[in-house]
Amino acid sequence: MGFDQFLSSPEMEILIITHRDIFQSAASSHSRFSDDYANLTAIIRLDKQDMKKAGLKEGNLVAVENSAGKVVVKALQSTYEEPHPGTAYMLNGPWVNALVSAETSGTGVPAFKYIEAKMTKSKESSITSFE
């Protein structure tokens, strides 16, 4: 039994920006239920320093939560050269949409691309399933 479980993992406030990706779109048209699709979509990409601060290693599972909902996804370091502390990136899909508020400020369009949430290392053994 590891010692890790007795260490508290710090909670971190992050801003999630969503985008689309051609490889994910291709996996999506093949099958929304494929591992490829989940492996590309149930991912949060974080700044290198943010990973360190949250006590995360590449591929650790994180719980991301706000008033709209909660999901467990895999944390990976972002591929951007420039640092972007406090900002994380996710690909459009059911995982990140679980965190999108229903509030539209009268526009009829929710804030799909600007999501504030809290993130901690997760004790779950797998990502959130939508099947």
Partner 1 sequence: MRQRGWEEDRTAIAIDVRKSDTAIICEDNFYQIPPKADAEFARALTEALSGKVPKATFGMKPKEILELANVLKKAEFGVIFAGLGLVYSMPDISPMKNLLEAMNKKTDFHLMPMVGQYNMRGFNHTLFDKTGYINRVSFEGENTYHGPQCSVVEVLKEKRADAALIIGSDPLSSLPGRIAANLKEIPTIVIDPCKTFTSQIANVTIPAAVTGVECKGEAIRMDGVKVELTQMRKSDKMADADIIEKIMEAI
Residues that bind partner 1 (CB under 8 A): 15, 17, 19-20, 22, 29, 31-33, 68-69, 80, 82, 84, 87, 89, 92-94, 97-102, 104-114, 130-131
Query: String of b and e for 19-35 (b: at least 16 CB within 10 Å)?
Result: eeeeebeebbeeeeeee
Residue 17 or 76 with smaller CB distance to partner 1: 17
Smallest gap from Cβ 14 to partner 1, in A, equals 12
Residue 59 or 83 with smaller CB distance to partner 1: 83
In 3D space, the residue among 102, 75, 93, 94 whose CA is nearest the CA of residue 14 turns out to be 75
Smallest gap from Cβ 88 to partner 1, in A, equals 11
Smallest gap from Cβ 109 to partner 1, in A, equals 6
Residues 117/14, Cβ–Cβ less than 8 Å: yes
Whole-number Å distance between alpha carbons of 72 and 126: 7
Q: Would you tell me how many other CB atoms lie within 10 Å of the CB of residue 3? A: 6
Residue 5 or 79 with smaller CB distance to partner 1: 79
Residue 55 or 94 with smaller CB distance to partner 1: 94
